[in-house]
Amino acid sequence: MAGSRPLGAVTRGTTNPNRLRRVDNWIAYACGGALADAADPLVVDLGYGATPVTTVELRARLAAAVRPDVRVVGLEIDPVRVAAAAPAADPPGLAFARGGFELAGLRPVVVRAFNVLRQYPEAEVEPAWRTMTAALAPGGMVVEGTCDELGRLAGWVLLDGSGPRSLTLAARLATLDSPASLAERLPKALIHRNVPGERVHGLVRALDEGWRDVAGYAVFGPRQRWLRAVAAVRDAGWPVLDRPARWRLGELTVAWAAVAPAGPAGPGAPAGPADG
């Protein structure tokens, strides 16, 4: 797609070292098999921001955890940011180029698009998802979401060619006051849906209530308290997809159908536990 205009708008571009560590480690866990099996283990980091630090970190983490020959290409719409990132490039494993949701004609196995769609209207989320997933290599995946400035609270959606598959909430447990704080970092498709009558509101409420109900475990540390809060969510009938080994890291992953927007404006099919 050389010579065509990238799809999207320039983001604010703020970032910090280690901001995306939680999602990077999850990508290695959840998408590592696809990368390990790929003939070309290409990853696109879409919208890396004003500095390339988190793209450099992504490549280092995947090279260590999945396979050393993984290739990461950071894409930005702003040519000034692409030029500024050039000194950090390390061919053939790390490169930077101009591109947007069309992924610059690349066919990656994995796309990380973090803190990008948060700055768009909700109505533009589904078209962006479709554009990115259409550009994937066969069996490829997109991880799209957002986090706070230090990466202590995060939420992301896993998508493939069929659409959204799961929602993950993640927190640094040592600094977590309440799971309700995670509502501030829901992906754009869901952040405006944290209201009574929407499924994601029911999930956040169930997790927060579980956290309060097991307050007595706080004496054993926030990890033990989180483990039991997530177990309570699962026992209440929510389709929790991960296992305690991931919960211990401050994660909770549920099937997308359980949190898909109930109203017509949001992407995804309505299904899952009701917020009653």
Q: Given pLDDT bands bounded at 50, 70 and 90, which one contains residue 263?
A: low
Are 209 and 243 members of one domain? yes
- Picking from 105, 184, 187, the residue whose alpha carbon sits closest to that of residue 144 is 187
> DSSP code of 154?
E
Query: Given the DSSP bridges, would you call strands 71-76 and 163-171 parallel, antiparallel or unpaired?
Result: unpaired
Which residue has better confidence, 73 or 8?
73
Q: Which domain holds residue 83?
A: 21-161
Domain co-membership, 123 together with 65 = yes
Give the span between the Cα atoms of 60 and 259, in whole angstroms.
33
- 35 shares a domain with 141: yes
H-state helical runs in the chain: 21-30, 32-37, 53-65, 79-85, 125-134, 188-191, 199-213, 222-235, 244-247
Q: Do 66 and 140 share a domain, yes or no? A: yes
Q: What is the CATH number of the domain that holds 63?
A: 3.40.50.150
Domain boundary among the residues 126, 161, 196 is at 161
Q: Phi and psi for 93 in degrees, rounded to 5?
A: -85, -20
Which residue from 234, 232, 275, 272 is spatially nearest to 253, judged by alpha carbons?
234
Q: What is the pTM of this model?
A: 0.91
For the stretch 118-169, pLDDT in tens is 989 999 999 999 999 999 999 999 999 999 999 999 999 999 999 999 999 9
> Could you give the angle at the alpha carbon of 182 between the alpha carbons of 176 and 185, nearest 5°?
125
Residue 7 falls within a domain, yes or no? Answer: no
Copy the structure tokens of residue 229: 């809060």
Q: Taking a C-beta distance cutoff of 8 angstroms, is the pair 38, 7 a contact?
A: no
Pick from 11, 13, 6: nearest CA to 98: 6
Instruction: For residue 111, list its beta bridge partners.
Output: 44, 142
Domain membership of residue 81 (yes or no) is yes
Distance from C-alpha of 144 to C-alpha of 114, rounded to nearest angstrom:
6
51-82 burial, b at 16+ Cβ within 10 Å, e below that, comes to bbbbbbbbbbbbbeebeeebbbbbbbbbeebb
Mean pLDDT estimate for the chain: 92
The per-residue pLDDT for range 32-89, each reduced to its tens digit, is: 999 999 999 999 999 999 999 999 999 999 999 999 999 999 999 999 999 999 999 9
Where does residue 260 rank: exposed (0-12), middle (13-18), buried (19+ CB within 10 A)?
buried
Same domain, 186 and 109: no
pLDDT higher at 88 or 269: 88
Q: Which tokens in the block code for residue 227?
A: 């483990």
**Would 13 be classed as within a structural domain?**
no
189: exposed, middle or buried (Cβ count in 10 Å: 0-12, 13-18, 19+):
buried
Residue 1 lies in a domain: no
Q: Are 87 and 127 found together in one domain?
A: yes
Measured distance CA(47)–CA(34) in Å, rounded: 22
Same domain? 196 vs 101: no
Is residue 122 domain-resident?
Answer: yes
Tell me, what's the pLDDT at 5?
76
* Tokens (6 digits) for 211: 């956290």
Instruction: Tell the residue number behind the tokens 């309440």, with chain if given.
Output: 178
Q: 181 and 100 in one domain?
A: no
pLDDT tens sequence across 170-224: 999 999 999 999 999 999 999 999 999 999 999 999 999 999 999 999 999 999 9
Residues 157 and 27 in one domain: yes
What is the model's pLDDT at position 1?
39
Q: Biggest alpha carbon distance in the chain?
A: 60
